[in-house]
Amino acid sequence: PVMCDHSHLFSNQYVTHNPKLYKKPFVESFEETPLLVAVLTYMGYGILTIFGYLRDFLRHWNIEKCHVAREREEQKDFVPLYQDFENFYTRNLYMRIRDNWNRPICSVPGAKMDLVERVSPDYNWTFEHTGKVVKDVINMGSYNYLGFAENSGACADAAIEATQKYGAGVGSTRCEIGNLDIHEELEQLVARFLGVESSMAFGMGFATNSMNIPALTGKGCLILSDELNHASLVLGARLSGSTIRVFKHNNMQSLEKLLRDAIIHGQPRTHRPWKKILIVVEGIYSMEGSIVRLPEVIALKKRYKAYLYLDEAHSIGALGPNGRGVVDYFGLDPKDVDIMMGTFTKSFGAAGGYIGGKKELIDYLRHHSHSALYATSMSSPVAQQIITSMKIIMGEDGTTLGADRVRQLSENTTYFRRKLHDMGFIIYGNDDSPVVPMMLYMPAKIGAFGREMLKRNIGTVVVGFPATPIIESRARFCISAAHTREMLDTVSLPISPVREPLFPSLEKPALAISQTTESEKRSAGR
Amino acid sequence: VHRSECEWFLVSVWLCAPAYHLILEGILILWIIRLLFSKTYKLHETYKLTEKEKEDLIEEWQPEPLVPLASKDCLSLNYDVVTGPPSHKIIINGKECINFASFNFLGLLDNERVKEKALASLKKYGVGTCGPRGFYGTFDVHLELESRLAKFMKTEEAIIYSYGFATIASAIPAYSKRGDIIFVDEAACFSIQKGLQASRSFIKYFKHNDMEDLERLLKEQELEDQKNPRKARVTRKFIVVEGLYMNTADICPLPELVKLKYKYKVRIFLEESLSFGVLGEYGRGVTEHFGVDIDDIDLISANMENAIASIGGFCCGRSFVIDHQRLSGQGYCFSASLPPMLAAAAIEALNIMEEDPDIFAILRKKSEHIHKALQGISGLKLVGEPFAPARHLQLERSTGSRESDMQLLRSIVDQVSPDVHVQYLVQC
């Protein structure tokens, strides 16, 4: 696991940006970790590590019962499959708080869900299902931004029809006979939705990135990728064989410096000019809640003739007055972004990914993308769900349901963020992003927060190392248009009493107060 | 008094030293002082560019176009469009044909029971899961499918992926890292190749189904290991093979592989996309076909898009091996989980497979029938095992260039097309 260095974030707010490119104020805050908290967090991890070594020692000498799965007797003299140290973290730290993840649910993942109750007789090594169901847990963890995760209504009816007509599977790849007429319809609709010439849909969002970036760049090309890009983008960049350079998160100075250096000095050692430069950014970063500074990125891209790959996995449908994503949010022209990629999992309640752009690009991808040639196409009911939900968002079904939901999401986001801010919690990210990370820092709080919220019938997501830097563990709330004001109040109410025993009261730094007044001004003006 | 005596001693020593010694030391001290104060010499100084030169370079640089201009590809620019369900009779581009091109081996794609179960699941859970497995994306249907698959294959545990392509491509890099060695058959399919590329290990190809070639490579590796035993103790070695090869439709010699495994201490990863639900008396794949103990294979991976007629993939094996993927399989941790209706369809397909094991025998008989029927066509040869349901008809002699081969194959397909739809590919 790689530890990312977040020290630059502390100075991000002091980096000068070009405000003329933005049509409305861009308010983002990433507060510094207070020194006391950082020290206590490291101490906490240190104590856990010592205990980990002690327990490993006891397990090795059979003083403690060992629950860890073992290698077969016949294969004992093979080279060990895992190094002991690789699994140290899993065995000793992750195992203690494992019940906060992989919680099985048995209903629609909507605003409220039903969880399968499970208990562990041996401290999380094994789980047993009691057979009971915890009903009506408020869901703050699923990516259900526009509330399309539902089992009744127009979308579900259309999906039922599609299943009856086409069946569940497809059985072939896109370039063979997996190209159903429903896929053609879907692709034309997606192109209209995004405002681009043409688009293509794939069966899995992760595979969209990892299979298409290699088709676009190769040896002799340069990929400039943001520090906090998703694993699929990193894998795609690696598989392409291009040179990868990383710029600091959302930091335009760092990106510009890399661009200038790349063009001036060319490829390393040979100094030949680069064939292509591709900038890879995401719309909303799911762990930070920050939004990419798209106007500045586009200005840089035009000045230095690079290409832009925008991954809108979380922002499509969730940002913008019409729900068309981060391009809509900033009021820019979709033709400025060369490759617009996104997923259907989050705002459309389905599965899969898409890429949109110029016609030449999509035609090229149809024949050279690994995913189109070797991987199965999207299942029909899933494609139908996307078509129906997209039509609702665009308003083409004749109702205002889509516009209502987009507006509701934006109101919920503002309300929830302001509430948490007023209560004095450290929230990361942009004021308009529906992903709200709340800092917890200490390892023990991760487990305690998750469990205490579940006792009060609220399902939250807590994230720790290695998805985040080691001292910046957080709880993440995903706002949905399906949440009502009462639900948000119910969620924010217990955070204080749950946190108070866990945290000493921290002084609010001056910067946070100025951000609060900014957001108050904006929401008063709305 | 003591100190002044020491000082007097030092001065006397200095006065007694020979002259050349003093001169040498003086020169050395002067040299050091000069070096300390001289300007440091950097290599970059020699070609530091002026601001104007930098701006000129930036102005002049022209990137290549994002995608190369569309050449006259022998592939048609548009895909064939299928209207209606891709079942046995399929409507392509308006024409109705018999379907010989989809991987619908057990005919479960339009089975009514499977559709019923998928619909029931849709009415309960909706379509999407809105999250990865770790964050409220685990449904009880997924857990049920995993335990049913493990029971069916008689292994301890199974893990599901939401996309068939991503299954083996995420499984291999989860275990094999930089510095490990993988022995792979030359005819391995594309998803295995992507998995190998992502793993950054040393890849050694052996000739297709040639056990002597593999043994030769293993022996060479053994000699290397003896030279460097410390490194050998931490280098993991794997063999990756497919049950039924997608590219050549023949079967891997599994018993010999198991013997090699124990002799040279390498682990076996078996990819059973085409053989799961096809080979073996009860459809358990190539291990049942040969009667090999399933615990001898470290990892079996298959996709559910062929025989089970759903979407997704799974890996099964012992808990010791499979559990690791829950935290380090990239396609599992960082991707949304399988839509529950597709998982329910897969469970029902498994039910049908368990209730009626005769369908596997029927499939084999029909494959053998086609094999006999397609023999003896002049100019074309049928490659593969008689019981393999997915086959390649190859040109016996190449016409000399790839383009003309493609033209010839395409004209054959067009001839046949009014009644039957087959798929053509060019083998390199």
Minimal Cα–Cα distance from B361 to chain A, Å? Answer: 21
A332, A212: one domain: yes
CB contact under 8 A, A105 and B114: no
Q: Is B162 within the bounds of a domain?
A: yes
Q: Is A94 within the bounds of a domain?
A: yes
- Give the domain CATH number at A332: 3.40.640.10
Confidence of residue B234 (pLDDT cuts 50, 70, 90): confident
Closest CA to B236 of B169, B310, B179: B179
Q: Do the beta carbons of residue A429 and residue A290 sit within 8 Å?
A: yes
Q: Do the beta carbons of residue A115 and residue A457 sit within 8 Å?
A: no
From A181-185, B139-143, B390-394, the region with the lowest mean pLDDT: B390-394
Structural domain containing residue A346: 154-394
Number of domain units in chain B:
1
Confidence of residue B47 (pLDDT cuts 50, 70, 90): low
Q: In this complex, how many residue pairs, one in chain A and one in chain B, have their CB atoms less than 8 Å apart?
A: 324
> Strand pairing of A429-430 and A28-29?
antiparallel
CB contact under 8 A, B80 and A177: yes
C-alpha to C-alpha distance for A276 and A273, rounded to whole angstroms? 9
Minimal Cα–Cα distance from B84 to chain A, Å? Answer: 6
- Position B417 scores a pLDDT of 62
* Residue B147: other Cβ atoms inside 10 A: 12
pLDDT at B348 over 90: yes
A318, A438: one domain: no
A407, A388: one domain: no
Q: Is A462 within the bounds of a domain?
A: yes
Q: Is A294 within the bounds of a domain?
A: yes
Mark which of A394, A426, A445 sits at the end of a domain.
A394
Cis, peptide link before residue B85, omega less than 30° from 0: no
A195, A310: one domain: yes
pLDDT at A247 over 90: yes
Q: Which tens digit of pLDDT belongs to each residue from A310-359? A: 999 999 988 989 889 999 899 999 999 999 999 999 889 899 999 999 99
CB contact under 8 A, A264 and B54: yes
Number of domain units in chain A:
2
Confidence of residue B85 (pLDDT cuts 50, 70, 90): confident
pLDDT at B182 over 90: yes
**By three-state DSSP, how is residue A80 classified?**
coil
A247, A376: one domain: yes
> Strand pairing of A277-282 and A307-311?
parallel
- Position A499 scores a pLDDT of 63
Minimal Cα–Cα distance from A8 to chain B, Å? Answer: 26
C-alpha to C-alpha distance for B384 and A328, rounded to whole angstroms? 54
Q: Which tens digit of pLDDT belongs to each residue from B279-290? A: 888 888 899 999
Beta strand ranges found along A88-241 (DSSP E): 112-119, 128-139, 198-202, 222-226
Closest to B336 (Cβ–Cβ): which among A181, A351, A361? Answer: A351
From A221-235, B46-60, B226-240, B359-373, the region with the lowest mean pLDDT: B46-60
Question: What is the biggest distance separating any 2 CA atoms in chain A, rounded to whole angstroms?
Answer: 72
A224, A131: one domain: no
Q: Which tens digit of pLDDT belongs to each residue from A23-36? A: 777 777 777 778 88
Mark which of A337, A365, A394 sits at the end of a domain.
A394
With CA atoms as reference, the chain B residue closest to A101 would be: B134
Q: Do the beta carbons of residue B131 and residue A142 sit within 8 Å?
A: yes
C-alpha to C-alpha distance for A361 and A339, rounded to whole angstroms? 8
Q: Is B299 within the bounds of a domain?
A: yes
Q: Is B25 within the bounds of a domain?
A: no
From A88-102, A355-369, A492-506, the region with the lowest mean pLDDT: A492-506
> Strand pairing of B237-242 and B267-271?
parallel
- Give the domain CATH number at B261: 3.40.640.10
> B315 φ, ψ to 5°?
-125, 140
A446-452: long-range contacts (C-beta < 8 A, 24 or more apart)?
Answer: A446/A97, A446/A100, A446/A473, A446/A475, A447/A96, A447/A97, A447/A100, A448/A502, A449/A475, A449/A498, A449/A499, A449/A502, A450/A97, A450/A99, A450/A100, A450/A475, A451/A99, A451/A100, A452/A494, A452/A498
CB contact under 8 A, A205 and B164: no
Q: Does B291 touch chain A (CB under 8 A)?
A: no
pLDDT more than 90, % of chain B: 36
CB contact under 8 A, B63 and A207: no
Q: Do the beta carbons of residue A230 and residue A287 sit within 8 Å?
A: no
CB contact under 8 A, B80 and A205: no
- Position B72 scores a pLDDT of 55
* Residue B403: other Cβ atoms inside 10 A: 12
Tell me the CA distances in angstroms from B264 to A201, B182, B221, B254, B290, one per residue in order. 45, 13, 9, 15, 21
A230, A367: one domain: yes
Q: Does B195 touch chain A (CB under 8 A)?
A: no
Q: Is B133 within the bounds of a domain?
A: yes
Q: Is A306 within the bounds of a domain?
A: yes
Structural domain containing residue B218: 112-355
Q: Which site among A151, A172, A280 would you substitute to test the B interface, given the most B Cβ atoms closer than 10 Å to its Cβ?
A: A172
Q: Is B47 within the bounds of a domain?
A: no
- Residues A457-484 as b or e (16 or more Cβ within 10 Å = b): bbbbbbbbbebbbbbbbbbbbbbbbbbe
CB contact under 8 A, B67 and A102: no
pLDDT at A186 over 90: yes
Q: Which tens digit of pLDDT belongs to each residue from B414-423? A: 776 655 555 5
Q: Which site among A2, A71, A75 would you substitute to test the B interface, given the most B Cβ atoms closer than 10 Å to its Cβ?
A: A75
**What ipTM is given for this predicted complex?**
0.87
A408, A386: one domain: no
At CA A179, angle to CA A175 and CA A180, rounded to 5?
A: 170
CB contact under 8 A, A156 and B265: no
pLDDT at A404 over 80: yes
Which residues of B fall within a CB distance of 8 Å from A359? none
Closest to A78 (Cβ–Cβ): which among B80, B92, B265? Answer: B265
Confidence of residue A386 (pLDDT cuts 50, 70, 90): very high
Tokens linked to B350? 């498994």
A247, A321: one domain: yes
Q: Is A508 within the bounds of a domain?
A: no
Closest to B311 (Cβ–Cβ): which among A176, A306, A379? Answer: A379
Alpha helices (runs of H) in B19-77, residue ranges in sequence order: 19-37, 51-60
- Position A505 scores a pLDDT of 44
Mark which of A372, A394, A416 sits at the end of a domain.
A394
Q: Which residues touch A199 (CB under 8 Å, ≥6 apart)?
A: A187, A190, A191, A354, A355, A356, A357, A362
Which uninterrupted H or E stretch holds B174? helix B164-175
Confidence of residue A502 (pLDDT cuts 50, 70, 90): low
Q: Which site among B136, B196, B319 would you substitute to test the A interface, given the most A Cβ atoms closer than 10 Å to its Cβ?
A: B136
Q: Is A345 within the bounds of a domain?
A: yes
Q: Which site among B105, B127, B341, B392 would you substitute to test the A interface, given the most A Cβ atoms closer than 10 Å to its Cβ?
A: B127
Q: Is B87 within the bounds of a domain?
A: no
Confidence of residue A446 (pLDDT cuts 50, 70, 90): confident
A176, A101: one domain: no
Q: Does B90 touch chain A (CB under 8 A)?
A: yes
- Position A62 scores a pLDDT of 79
- Give the domain CATH number at A452: 3.90.1150.10
Question: Which residue is it, tokens 């091996």?
Answer: B321
Can you give the length of chain B in residues? Answer: 428
Q: Is B321 within the bounds of a domain?
A: yes
A375, A488: one domain: no
Q: Which tens digit of pLDDT belongs to each residue from A190-240? A: 999 999 999 999 989 999 999 999 999 989 899 999 999 999 999 999 999
Q: Is A8 within the bounds of a domain?
A: no
Average pLDDT over residues A467-475: 85
Minimal Cα–Cα distance from B355 to chain A, Å? Answer: 21
A377, A453: one domain: no
